[in-house]
Amino acid sequence: MLRKMRARLGMLPLAVMVLLTAGCGTQRAGDTADAYRRSHPTPSGISTPSTPADFRCQGESSEPVAPTAATAPSSTVSPADHYAENHGFRVPLPLHGQSRCDGLTAVGHVKSALEPLRRRSDFAPDSVRKALTGLGYSAGKVQAYQDGSAGVGFLIDIGVSPWCVEGTMSSDSTTADAFGGYPDGTGCEPPSGGH
């Protein structure tokens, strides 16, 4: 009898461990956060961050396209391939709302100012810089540089938290894009390092 009792007492810790581990692995990542949000809703009067709404800007022919996550891995990317994730700091931040519309307007002004230079094949960085400062941009905030053998690149730091216009001009076309700086940067220059 004493032997049977010892065997049963020896089984007790094993039985307790089996019961405790039976529930392990059933909770998924995010369950705790979701349960917390359901039991602790955001009080009214406190706003939660959201993506600003884009709307059709003056002169735009179609509705803006919702941005996609530039650094989100696709199903075809190997889990070990973290190139996009590790270089996401070099992806410019998009502008939204009224800032996006202001950016489109600035891009239109820049292209109009540079078109006469492009038509007469004046691809000198000094000419581009002069045309852009003629629009009212500070000379210290305008960069123009040779871009290949027959083109010129430019970068304008508009200076509004940051707000930038970047592009190129070649014999074929003038391209420009407005953006809101970089995730790990403080201005319009692409950051030189990430994680």
Q: In 10 A of CB 128, how many CB atoms?
A: 27
pLDDT value at 35 more than 70? no
Tell me the pLDDT tens digit for each residue of 53-80. 777 888 777 655 554 444 344 445 555 5
Q: Determine the Cα–Cα distance for residues 21 and 19; give it in Å rounded to an integer.
A: 6
Distance CA 115, CA 173 (A): 8
What is the tens place of the pLDDT at every residue in 83-101? 666 666 778 889 888 888 9
Q: What is the pTM of this model?
A: 0.62
Q: What does the pLDDT average to over 109-126?
A: 96
Mean pLDDT value across residues 129-151:
92
pLDDT at 91: 83
Region 116-143 average pLDDT: 95
Backbone angles phi, psi at 177, to 5 degrees: -145, 140
Decide if pLDDT at 180 tops 80. yes
Q: What is the pLDDT of residue 74?
A: 44
Nearest partner of 128 among 164, 181, 177, 166, judged by Cα: 166
Q: What's the pLDDT score for residue 63?
A: 59
pLDDT of residue 75: 46
Q: What is the pLDDT of residues 4-34, one digit of tens each?
A: 555 555 565 555 555 555 554 544 444 444 4
Average pLDDT over residues 134-155: 91
88-92, long-range: CB within 8 Å, 24+ apart, which pairs?
88/183, 88/194, 89/182, 89/183, 89/184, 89/185, 89/191, 89/193, 89/194, 89/195, 90/182, 90/190, 90/191, 90/194, 91/182, 91/183, 92/164, 92/166, 92/177, 92/179, 92/180, 92/181, 92/182
Which of 91-95, 113-117, 177-181 shows the lowest mean pLDDT across its residues?
91-95
